[in-house]
Amino acid sequence: MFPAPILRWLHWTLSIPAVAVVLLALTWGRNPAPVVLAIEGVFLVGSVLAAVHHAEVVAHRVGEPFGSLVLAVAVTVIEVALIVTLTLSGKGDTSTLARDTVFSAVMLTMNGIVGLSLLVGARRHHQVVFNAEGTGSALATVITLAGLTLVLPRFTTTEPGPVFSPAQLAFAAVASLALYGLFVFTQTVRHRDFFLPTTPDGGVLDSEDHADPPDNATALTSAGLLLASLIAVVGLTKLESPAIEAGVEALGFPQSFVGVVIALLVLLPESIAAVKAAARNRVQTSLNLAYGSAMASIGLTIPTIAVATIWIPGPLALGLEPVHMVLLFLSAVIAILTVTPGRARTLQGWVHLALLAAFLFLSIAP
């Protein structure tokens, strides 16, 4: 039998981030063999799952709705790092990588995470309830951010093509950051009760009742391991990026599908946490995670990428293609119809998942 401290460190949520960081340090700057890349891929997925666990521990300690912000910020850190590193080191035209990744994140959150959460919650509890005021304001912010940054570039005329002029990009970045900051203030201070889990009779659940919050030492340990997991995810994905691009090319998929792969990877923690919350009849938490991630993906990623264009060569194409604008419009309309009643059943989940399926199919066969 191992001593208790050793057993704790053998737990996968502790050992995988540690081993992943060591593996990253040993292979950084080299060209790993295919077998090593496969091993790194396993630890990459494991690090993402470990990040879920530790972010949930921290989130449980700080409580809702602050807890929902933990994963949103973590996802944004990963997303920005991956976009910048792949843009600088990727092959071919990477001018649309930021757009493809951000739009994929928006579609995966608005339709994938929301759809799965509604489906799981409604199947287990017959009907799910949430605060329409808080969720509606989150959805309105997401739609506004998406329109400002992903739709308008297609219609501006100062610069040719789906790009902003430098002044327009600066305005979009500042406006996005300001809107995100205002929403966070509303969610955490001004109208905090609008974003707390609700009961069928309209009551508010101010805290999770399934377990006592962890102590400060446990939360701080998880915060450190969350940081290590994020470092491992970013670093290992950087090493795996040539294999990802080669795999997309070998499958005959468009280059833009790399953005979908990045979004799928970085949103895995949000997806797992949201579905687990829905299974506990905390769909409000699931919606906070979904729309908060979409908001952070635009409101934090676009300003950061705008600053990064100072040293990133080439144009930054943000304007969506017409088919993607149609999908965004349909997603916005369906989301409004879902959110307005403040309750949902399995049908709404299936409708959102149908839109997700359309997005994924058209990403492969545009």
- Measured CA angle at 192 (ends 190, 197), to 5 deg: 165
The percent of residues in the chain predicted with pLDDT above 70, rounded, is 88
Per-residue DSSP letters for 270-312?
HHHHHHHHHHTT-HHHHHHHHHHHHHHHHHTHHHHHHHHTTTS
- pLDDT for the residue numbered 116: 94
State pTM to two decimals.
0.84
- pLDDT for the residue numbered 6: 43
Which of the four pLDDT bands, split at 50, 70 and 90, describes residue 320? very high
Other C-beta atoms closer than 10 Å to the C-beta of 264 total 15
Average confidence (pLDDT) over 273-279 = 88
Helix or strand (DSSP H, E) at 4: helix 4-10
Structure tokens that stand for 180 in this block: 């995100």
To which residue do tokens 């590193």 refer? 85
Q: Express each pLDDT in 232-258 by its tens digit.
A: 887 887 777 777 777 788 888 888 888
Q: Which residue has the higher pLDDT, 192 or 232?
A: 232
Average confidence (pLDDT) over 207-224 = 70
Asked if residues 263 and 113 have their Cβ atoms less than 8 Å apart, the reply is no
Residue 209 DSSP symbol: -
The percent of residues in the chain predicted with pLDDT above 90, rounded, is 28
| Contacts for 131 with CB less than 8 Å, ≥ 6 apart | 194, 195, 196, 198, 284, 342
Listed in order, strand segments (DSSP E) in the chain are: 128-129, 343-344
Which of the four pLDDT bands, split at 50, 70 and 90, describes residue 5? very low
- pLDDT for the residue numbered 200: 61
Question: Is the bond leading into 65 cis (omega within 30 degrees of zero)?
Answer: yes
| Contacts for 150 with CB less than 8 Å, ≥ 6 apart | 99, 102, 103, 106, 298, 318, 319, 320, 328
- pLDDT for the residue numbered 219: 79
Q: Which residue has the higher pLDDT, 24 or 203?
A: 24
Q: What are phi and psi of 252, to 5 degrees?
A: 80, 15
Domain boundaries, the chain: 4-364
What mean pLDDT value characterizes the chain?
82
- pLDDT for the residue numbered 48: 78
Distances (CA, A) of 156 to 144, 150, 177, 308: 17, 11, 21, 22
Rounded distance between C-alpha atoms, residue 10 and residue 204, angstroms = 39
Among 44-48, 182-186, 200-204, 333-337, the range scoring the smallest mean pLDDT is 200-204
Q: Express each pLDDT in 55-103 by its tens digit.
A: 778 877 776 556 656 766 777 777 777 787 777 766 666 788 889 999 9
Distances (CA, A) of 15 to 7, 49, 193, 236, 265: 10, 12, 38, 16, 20
- pLDDT for the residue numbered 108: 95
Average confidence (pLDDT) over 162-184 = 91
Q: Express each pLDDT in 109-119 by its tens digit.
A: 999 999 999 99
Distances (CA, A) of 183 to 69, 70, 108, 288, 304: 11, 15, 21, 12, 18
- pLDDT for the residue numbered 240: 76
The answer on pLDDT for 355 being more than 90 is yes
Q: Express each pLDDT in 30-68 by its tens digit.
A: 777 778 888 888 888 888 778 777 877 887 777 655 665
Asked if residues 253 and 100 have their Cβ atoms less than 8 Å apart, the reply is no
| Contacts for 65 with CB less than 8 Å, ≥ 6 apart | 187, 188, 192, 195, 196, 288
What CATH number labels 4-364?
1.20.1420.30
Asked if residues 75 and 269 have their Cβ atoms less than 8 Å apart, the reply is yes
- pLDDT for the residue numbered 32: 77
